[in-house]
């Protein structure tokens, strides 16, 4: 079988990745009446952190955003180390790595869909792209950890700086739906809301021409999960003996990963594009308990041809 459509649901023309992304977005934001009433869910599941950047002020959100929770814990009274939130993040990271970004994140899905718009695409030159990828680590360290922990107001608490000034998911999933359905909030919106809408519009517009610009350059959650990519249980696998070096995988990779060199590098979001275009089916993915089987499949385990 040609590798071109192996990632597609038979006869449907929709990729497995897209099905998982849509299911995840619906599941994480399943409180549909919240959108109608302009109110948020207040049930017990809000004590659980979700693995993705999904604003807990989204009217549909059933769980808590881990980045918002992390800032709230670090910036709250007492400034205690947030074991619970870090533990949840580490658990998601070690299970899936950046598979969370490629398969589960609703804001990743939004960017993927916007990139389908037929406009000329921009390939960011390597000399800009490479250093810009480190921005997300700075965002995580400065806006999510250091400022909430140390830039404290007179009341002893600090702002969630990332959410307040940068997070586009909060504006898209929380701010806009709530303001549309709640006149009180609409009247309270001012300069800060205009700034956040501007950030959102710039990121959404950029998504049409650059694939997942927020994930590549700004997302603090992606930065955190990147540290787990090489160790996570969910891995991409490259059978080096089947690989013919055509580099179709690298040409198709939306995150510009050098697939044949480091298939589980920090930028791989496990979207499966490389797997679907491989003409020799040398690439596979899945949960691996044995790291010896991660990078390549040993010759003796390969089926006889």
Partner 1 sequence: MKDRTVLLARYGLLAAAAVFIAVGLLRREHLGVMEKAVRICLECIGIG
Binding site for partner 1 (CB under 8 A): 40-42, 44, 46-49, 55-57, 61, 63-65, 68-69, 72-73, 76, 80, 82-88, 90-91, 93-94, 159-160, 163-164, 167, 170-171, 174-175, 178-179, 185, 188-190, 192-193, 195-197, 228, 230-233, 290-292, 294
Q: What is the nearest approach in angstroms of partner 1 to the Cβ of residue 143?
A: 12
Provide long-range contacts, Cβ within 8 A and 24+ apart, for 29-37: 29/54, 29/58, 29/60, 29/61, 29/62, 29/106, 29/173, 30/60, 30/62, 31/59, 31/60, 31/61, 31/62, 32/60, 34/58, 34/59, 34/60, 34/61, 35/59, 35/60, 35/177, 35/181, 36/181, 37/181
Cα separation, 242 vs 219, whole angstroms: 35
Question: Vertex 205, ends 199 and 207: CA angle to 5°?
Answer: 100
Nearer to partner 1, 36 or 280 (CB): 36
Nearer to partner 1, 18 or 56 (CB): 56
Cα separation, 3 vs 279, whole angstroms: 5
Q: What is the nearest approach in angstroms of partner 1 to the Cβ of residue 121?
A: 30
Q: Are 222 and 265 in contact (CB under 8 A)?
A: no
| b/e 102-140 (16+ beta carbons within 10 angstroms → b) | bbbbbbbbbbbebbeeeeeeeebeeeeeeeebeebbebb
User: CA dist 159 to 4, 45, 75, 273, Å?
Assistant: 47, 24, 7, 39
Nearer to partner 1, 256 or 294 (CB): 294
Q: What is the nearest approach in angstroms of partner 1 to the Cβ of residue 124?
A: 28
Nearer to partner 1, 96 or 210 (CB): 96
Nearer to partner 1, 290 or 304 (CB): 290
Nearer to partner 1, 123 or 186 (CB): 186
Cα separation, 134 vs 220, whole angstroms: 10
280 alpha carbon, distance to own chain's centre: 29
Nearer to partner 1, 135 or 189 (CB): 189
Cα separation, 250 vs 88, whole angstroms: 32
Q: What is the nearest approach in angstroms of partner 1 to the Cβ of residue 62?
A: 10
């Amino acid at each position: 079988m040609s590798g071109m459509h192996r990632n597609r649901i038979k006869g449907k023309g929709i990729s497995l990745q897209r099905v998982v992304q849509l299911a995840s977005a619906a599941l994480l934001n399943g409180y549909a009446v919240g959108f109608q009433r302009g109110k948020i869910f207040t049930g017990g599941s809000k004590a659980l952190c979700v693995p993705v950047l999904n604003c807990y002020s989204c009217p549909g959100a059933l769980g808590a955003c881990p980045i918002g929770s992390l800032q709230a814990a670090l910036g709250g009274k007492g400034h205690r180390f947030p074991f619970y939130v870090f533990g949840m993040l580490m658990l998601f990271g070690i299970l899936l790595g950046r598979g969370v970004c490629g398969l589960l994140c609703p804001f990743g899905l939004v960017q993927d869909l916007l990139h389908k718009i037929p406009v000329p695409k921009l390939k960011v030159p390597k000399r800009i792209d490479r250093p810009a990828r480190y921005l997300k680590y700075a965002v995580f360290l400065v806006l999510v950890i250091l400022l909430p922990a140390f830039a404290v107001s007179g009341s002893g608490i600090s702002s969630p700086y990332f959410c307040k000034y940068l997070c586009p998911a909060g504006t898209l999933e929380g701010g806009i739906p709530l303001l549309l359905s709640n006149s009180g909030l609409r009247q309270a919106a001012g300069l800060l809301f205009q700034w956040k809408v501007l950030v959102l519009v710039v990121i959404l517009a950029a998504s049409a021409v650059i694939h997942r610009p927020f994930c590549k350059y700004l997302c603090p959650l992606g930065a955190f999960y990147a540290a787990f990519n090489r160790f996570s249980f969910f891995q991409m696998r490259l059978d080096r003996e089947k690989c013919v070096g055509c580099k179709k995988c690298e040409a198709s990779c939306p995150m510009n990963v050098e697939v044949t060199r480091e298939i589980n590098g920090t930028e791989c979001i496990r979207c499966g594009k490389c797997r679907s275009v491989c003409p020799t089916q040398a690439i596979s993915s899945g949960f691996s308990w044995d790291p010896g089987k991660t990078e390549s499949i040993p010759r003796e385990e390969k089926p006889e041809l």
